[in-house]
């Protein structure tokens, strides 16, 4: 009987010690929505400096376990990132759209060079087209010209 009481006391003490020594993790959950209230699907929720990562589901919901006192980083393409302090219920998080100006796009053209391209190339100037085709319509001219680029 005394032996059972001692074993019970030791087991109870080990349980208390392990509960105190264990890190305090917080189970964070919330819903991520856009400015218009639509859920954001596939956003990344991470804890910087760790390998703890979660993504939002079809309804914009997420859940992850975070060490107490850590910060949560929410990121999604086209939206401003959010940095939050970890708490058990984050509620509804709204993300703002982030717009960026892109630099100009330059479109260039080049002509095929003799013996550098695998296709046959023939140059036809405007004077030759006038002489051979006369006053035909443009679709007729294109039908008789081999391989127009």
Q: What is the pLDDT of residues 42-63, one digit of tens each?
A: 999 999 988 999 999 999 999 9
Query: Does the structure show a pLDDT above 80 at 96?
Result: yes
Q: How many CA atoms lie within 13 A of 107 on its CB side?
A: 0
Domain with CATH 2.60.40.4130 in the chain: 23-94
How does residue 20 score in pLDDT terms, banded at 50, 70 and 90? low
Structure tokens at 109: 């053209």
Looking at the chain, how many residues does it have? Answer: 149
The phi and psi torsions of 103 (rounded to 5 degrees) equal: -75, 165
Q: The pTM is what?
A: 0.53
Mapping DSSP onto H, E and C, the string for 2-21 reads HHHHHHHHHHHHHHHHHHHH
Percentage of the chain beyond pLDDT 90 is 34
Closest CA to 66 of 91, 96, 87: 87
Distant-in-sequence contacts of 96-103, Cβ < 8 A, 24+ apart: 96/35, 97/34, 97/35
State residue 38's pLDDT score: 93
Residue range 23-94 forms a domain whose CATH class is mainly beta
CA dist., res. 59 & res. 94, Å (int): 14
State residue 41's pLDDT score: 93
Least confidently predicted of 61-65, 92-96, 106-110, 136-140: 136-140
Average pLDDT over residues 26-45: 92
């Amino acid at each position: 009987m005394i032996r059972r009481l001692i074993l019970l006391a030791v087991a109870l003490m080990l349980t208390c010690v392990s509960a105190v020594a264990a890190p305090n993790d917080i189970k964070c959950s919330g819903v991520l929505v856009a400015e218009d209230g639509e859920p954001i699907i596939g956003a990344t929720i991470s804890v910087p400096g760790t390998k703890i990562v979660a993504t939002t589901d079809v309804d914009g919901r997420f859940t992850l376990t975070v060490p107490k006192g850590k910060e949560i980083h929410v990121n999604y393409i086209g939206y401003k990132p959010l940095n939050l302090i970890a708490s058990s219920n984050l509620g509804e998080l709204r993300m703002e759209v982030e717009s960026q100006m892109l630099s100009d796009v330059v479109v260039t053209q080049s002509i095929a060079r003799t013996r550098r391209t695998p296709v046959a190339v023939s140059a036809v100037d405007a004077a030759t087209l006038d002489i051979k085709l006369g006053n035909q319509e443009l679709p007729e001219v294109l039908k008789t010209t081999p391989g127009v680029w």
